[in-house]
């Protein structure tokens, strides 16, 4: 599910749409059945979003095509705003609409997860948690594909700023480590950074960059996001194990704080990946090496 601008075939209109990816369903089902399932899922999500959240939005889009991907995107539309290309609103309005859709997207992710847990066979684009076993039932949609960690250049009003992607590097390197250790690792389960699965269960992992040696902000963010995601994205009887991942050591006090809340912690060290006692026990970090 994502926010996308879709142009009509005649290029006379463009729709800002909260929509679904359609490729996986079309690989699995015939076009008519795939579109039926897309429409059912989009309608179910639309039906549980708040009235205020979708006020003024359109439940349907018309891309002017009778077949192919445009037709599927029509079925996959949750809500949209359609503009005439030759009569677009001003830039402030376009930006405000986009911000509204991005906020609605977060609400829709939570709504979809709740529907998946409570409504049988309606949510078809996300696999149910709790049905996975290590050898027999792996999630085909779960894949390890971290984003590029190369630096990039951003231009802002004539200024050139080089941005760092330390977060992506952290996710990539640690995900690779877990895979070598035998975990199944996914980086595509937005908004979660990493999910890792083994015979011991399901781990929800939040990755944080420690900036200028100050771990306070990173630890607070990890605590908040892990609590939010576990509450909103998992049912009470299928809570994941939680782990916070850091670019550097966070100090004993914060390790104990996280352990107090049932959260393992791992950080990059000179010898690889060090962590709290619970992380080492679970195979998420290497035991501390002796100086002898």
pLDDT digits (tens, 9 = 90+) for 250-274: 999 999 999 999 999 999 998 899 9
Say how many domains are in the chain.
Answer: 2
Residue pair 267/274 in contact by the 8 Å Cβ criterion: yes
Q: How far apart are CA 194 and CA 53, in angstroms?
A: 29
Same domain, 203 and 277: yes
Q: How far apart are CA 226 and CA 244, in angstroms?
A: 8
Same domain, 113 and 156: no
Global model pTM greater than 0.85:
no
Same domain, 103 and 193: no
Residue pair 46/115 in contact by the 8 Å Cβ criterion: no
How high is the pLDDT of residue 84? 96
Q: How far apart are CA 257 and CA 261, in angstroms?
A: 7
Concatenated DSSP letters of 129-178: TT---TTT---TT----PPP---EEEEETTEEEEEP-HHHHHHHHHHHHH
Same domain, 83 and 171: no
Same domain, 156 and 112: no
Same domain, 108 and 7: yes
Q: Supply φ then ψ for residue 56, to 5 degrees.
A: 85, -5
pLDDT digits (tens, 9 = 90+) for 195-230: 999 987 899 999 999 987 789 999 999 999 999 999
Residue pair 179/106 in contact by the 8 Å Cβ criterion: no
Residue given tokens 């405000």 in the structure block: 96
Q: Is residue 160 part of a domain?
A: yes
Q: Out of 118, 138, 164, pick the residue that ends a domain.
A: 118
Q: Using alpha carbons, select from 181, 41, 164 the residue that is nearest to residue 111.
A: 41
How high is the pLDDT of residue 290? 40
Q: Is residue 292 part of a domain?
A: no
Q: What is the dihedral of CA 79, 84, 87, 89, to 10 degrees?
A: 10
Q: Out of 69, 100, 118, pick the residue that ends a domain.
A: 118
Q: Is residue 129 part of a domain?
A: no
Q: Out of 102, 118, 134, pick the residue that ends a domain.
A: 118
Q: How far apart are CA 39 and CA 24, in angstroms?
A: 15
What secondary structure letter does DSSP report for 120? Answer: T
Same domain, 38 and 111: yes
Q: End-to-end distance of the chain based on CA atoms, in angstroms?
A: 53
Range of the structural domain that residue 182 is part of: 152-281
Alpha-carbon distances of 273 from 51, 95, 145, 237, rounded to whole Å: 47, 42, 20, 31
Q: What is the CATH number of the domain that holds 277?
A: 3.40.1350.10
Q: Is residue 141 part of a domain?
A: no
Q: Is residue 138 part of a domain?
A: no
Residue pair 202/240 in contact by the 8 Å Cβ criterion: yes
Same domain, 174 and 67: no
Same domain, 68 and 174: no
Q: How far apart are CA 45 and CA 275, in angstroms?
A: 40
Same domain, 23 and 71: yes
Same domain, 167 and 94: no
Residues of the chain scoring pLDDT < 70: 126-145, 147-164, 288-292
Q: Is residue 59 part of a domain?
A: yes
Same domain, 50 and 95: yes
Q: CB-based burial of residue 170 (10 Å sphere; 0-12 exposed, 13-18 middle, 19+ buried)? A: buried
Q: Is residue 139 part of a domain?
A: no
Q: Is residue 287 part of a domain?
A: no
């Amino acid at each position: 599910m994502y926010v996308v601008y879709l142009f009509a075939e005649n290029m006379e209109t463009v729709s800002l749409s909260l929509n679904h990816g359609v490729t996986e369903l079309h690989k699995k089902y015939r076009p008519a059945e795939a579109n039926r399932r897309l429409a059912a899922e989009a309608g179910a999500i639309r039906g549980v979003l708040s009235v205020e959240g979708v006020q003024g939005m359109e439940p349907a889009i018309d891309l002017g095509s009778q077949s192919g991907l445009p037709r599927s995107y029509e079925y996959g539309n949750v809500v949209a705003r359609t503009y005439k290309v030759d009569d677009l609103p001003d830039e402030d309005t376009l930006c405000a609409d986009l911000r509204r859709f991005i906020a609605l997207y977060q609400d829709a992710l939570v709504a979809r997860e709740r529907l998946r847990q409570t409504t049988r066979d309606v949510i078809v684009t996300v696999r149910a948690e709790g049905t996975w076993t290590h050898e027999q039932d792996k999630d085909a949609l779960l894949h390890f594909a971290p984003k590029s960690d190369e630096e990039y250049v951003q231009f802002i009003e004539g200024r050139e700023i080089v941005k760092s992607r330390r977060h992506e590097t952290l996710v990539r390197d640690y995900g690779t480590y877990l895979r070598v250790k035998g975990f199944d690792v996914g980086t595509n389960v937005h908004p979660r950074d990493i999910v890792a699965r083994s015979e011991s269960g399901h781990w929800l992992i939040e990755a944080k960059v420690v900036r200028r040696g100050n771990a306070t902000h990173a630890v607070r963010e990890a605590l908040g996001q892990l609590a939010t995601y576990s509450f909103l994205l998992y049912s009470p009887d299928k809570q994941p194990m939680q782990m916070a991942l850091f670019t550097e050591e966070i100090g004993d006090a914060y390790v104990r704080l996280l352990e107090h809340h049932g959260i393992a912690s791992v950080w990059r060290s000179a010898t690889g990946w060090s962590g709290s006692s619970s992380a080492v026990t679970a195979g998420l970090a290497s035991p501390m090496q002796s100086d002898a």
